[in-house]
Amino acid sequence: MLEIALKEWSVICDLLLEGRMTLLLRKGGIHESGGPGVFKVEYPRFVMFPSWAHQKPQMLKPSYCDRVEILDEPAKITFRGIGEVADIWQVTDRSLFQWGGELANLHPWSSQQIHMRFDYKSERPLYLMAVRIFLLHDPKTVLNHAVYTGCRSWVPLRTGDGVIDTCATPVLRESDFKSILETVRGTLGTS
């Protein structure tokens, strides 16, 4: 039973669950256990928690902009997948993510979003996290309790809201996921 979730934009959750991406950029939210903006991989396996806060079409590459929904946080949230951290790197070179950069084809973010992630609280490190995603056979819908709201990475789920993680299928074949990891490790090294 998984009782911890990682909050991420809804559109990013969708892309992860479709196997269209495997990398996440994290700097940390306001309400992090290590302090504002201090991201740590506290949980290597987690439920994907879709959030609509802060997602904006201009923060994604043009081919993904039309997928962004601008909504208030809904009364209910459906958990459709789980993630497993395969590796994490501290990144300092934004050019890797820009057009023509070694990692440019492995993420959906616009140049504006890349710059924002690097520039926001620039004294704090930015992390790139490789995540293996698994699709739940039985998605679970829960109330979006007030304790789940706010700008945070990790969300402890209330009793009864956890997800049984034994019935899940990887969205990417292992060989495809390993190929992406090899590309990133070849660029950034091993963590």
Alpha carbons 103 and 135: distance in angstroms, whole number: 25
Domain 4-188, architecture per CATH: Roll (2.30)
For position 51, what pLDDT does the model report?
Answer: 95
For position 152, what pLDDT does the model report?
Answer: 82
Q: What is the pLDDT of residues 129-171, one digit of tens each?
A: 999 999 999 999 999 999 998 888 889 999 999 999 999 999 9
pTM: 0.93
Count CB-CB contacts under 10 A for residue 105: 9
For position 49, what pLDDT does the model report?
Answer: 98
DSSP assigned state of 120: T
pLDDT < 70 positions in the chain? 28-38, 191
First to last CA, the chain: 28
